[in-house]
């Protein structure tokens, strides 16, 4: 048969397939989310996230060493405090759990890049992401506490802060606070395109952050909407966001592509707890090949346009890159 164009020519061998690969995955773009909690000697498995743990400050080093050995150099801290109150004071306390973890990690792991989640939900007694006025979150009052939290993280050694609360104007408030205190070079990775998603269920178990009433649909986005996500991303870039995040990843890769096309800053995608737990559950039942699914879902996020990938499988992916199974 006379065919000049045969796409299969470029699929004929492993070396050639890798040579012409359109999507590249690199361990330097991976971020591992780590849960730290008050206490001593704690390595506590999360029931809804098999293989993931809550660590105390004195034990988290074991995981950081393991990550470094795999080639993962960036982590994002989520704190689990002993005390919660109406205004989430543990989020911005000088001796807060994240602040203590940062100081320890900064001292013992100088080569790691330390990022912090900036939000109130883990620290408030009601589980919402800000200060309440009745049953509503008071947007503008919450901004003051978010800015205070971000500053406390920078002072404790954070390289980057990542606000996840979805309050209007939070990036501008945090940027102003950081700059006013001399932290001009601390970047902001904004959870700009964060949907009200059922995929967050296991995380709320892990962090103890489920709201005690209602839901978060008045501040997290409606998953039916895409133009709204572009608006949020553009607003945050205008306010000073250095990186824009889309969350979750798996069911929102269309948004990763749209945001990639809309902004001129790096784009991150967060493969959230529900995605992790679904893969774990399916693999435990023998329904799927865990390793292959991990590689495929990661590659799909990069193919969609993300530059940075936050995932609980960061360590495994880094090893798969070294082994030539993805990359």
Give catalytic residues, as residue numbers: 194, 247
Q: Are 179 and 186 in contact (CB under 8 A)?
A: no
Tally the C-alpha atoms within 13 A of residue 1's C-alpha that lie toward its C-beta.
3
Torsion of CA 277, 280, 285, 291, to 10 degrees: 150
- Residue 201 burial class via C-beta count within 10 angstroms: exposed 0-12, middle 13-18, buried 19 and up: middle
**Contact yes or no for 63/34 (Cβ under 8 A):** yes
The first and second tokens of residue 43, run together, are 């390595």
Question: CA dihedral in degrees (213, 153, 36, 104; nearest 10)?
Answer: -170
Residues 6+ apart with CB under 8 A from 37: 44, 54, 55, 56, 79, 80, 81, 97
Token digits of residue 57: 């400050």
Q: Are 114 and 154 in contact (CB under 8 A)?
A: no
**In 82-99, which positions are buried (b, 16+ CB within 10 angstroms) versus exposed (e)?**
eebeebbbbbbbeebbbb
């Amino acid at each position: 048969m006379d065919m000049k164009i045969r796409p299969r020519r470029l699929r004929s061998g492993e070396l050639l397939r890798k040579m012409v690969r359109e999507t590249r995955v690199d361990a330097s773009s991976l971020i591992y989310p780590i849960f730290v909690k008050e206490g001593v000697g704690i390595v506590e498995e999360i029931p809804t996230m098999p293989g993931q743990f809550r660590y105390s400050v004195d034990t988290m080093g074991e995981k950081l060493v393991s990550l470094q050995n795999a080639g993962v150099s960036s982590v994002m801290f989520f704190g689990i405090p002993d005390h919660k109150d109406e205004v989430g004071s543990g989020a911005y306390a000088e001796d807060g759990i994240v602040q203590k973890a940062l100081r320890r990690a900064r001292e013992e792991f100088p080569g790691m890049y330390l990022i912090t989640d900036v939000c109130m939900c883990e620290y408030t007694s009601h589980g919402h992401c800000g200060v309440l006025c009745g049953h509503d979150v008071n947007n503008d009052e919450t901004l003051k506490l978010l800015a205070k939290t971000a500053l406390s993280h920078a002072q404790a050694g954070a390289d980057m802060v990542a606000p996840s609360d979805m309050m209007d104007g939070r990036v501008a408030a945090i940027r102003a606070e950081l700059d006013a205190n001399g932290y001009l070079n601390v970047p902001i990775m904004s959870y700009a395109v964060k949907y009200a998603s059922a995929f967050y269920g296991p995380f709320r178990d892990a962090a103890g952050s489920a709201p005690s009433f209602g839901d978060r649909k008045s501040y997290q986005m409606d998953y039916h909407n895409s133009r709204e996500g572009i608006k949020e991303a553009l607003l945050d870039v205008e306010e000073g966001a250095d990186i824009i995040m889309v969350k979750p990843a798996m069911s929102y890769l269309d948004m990763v592509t749209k945001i990639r096309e809309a902004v001129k800053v790096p784009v991150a995608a967060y493969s959230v707890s529900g995605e992790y737990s679904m893969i774990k559950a399916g693999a435990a039942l023998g329904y799927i090949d865990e390793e292959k699914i991990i590689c495929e879902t990661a590659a799909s996020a990069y193919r969609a346009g993300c530059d940075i990938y936050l995932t609980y499988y960061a360590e495994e992916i880094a090893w798969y890159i070294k082994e030539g199974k993805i990359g």
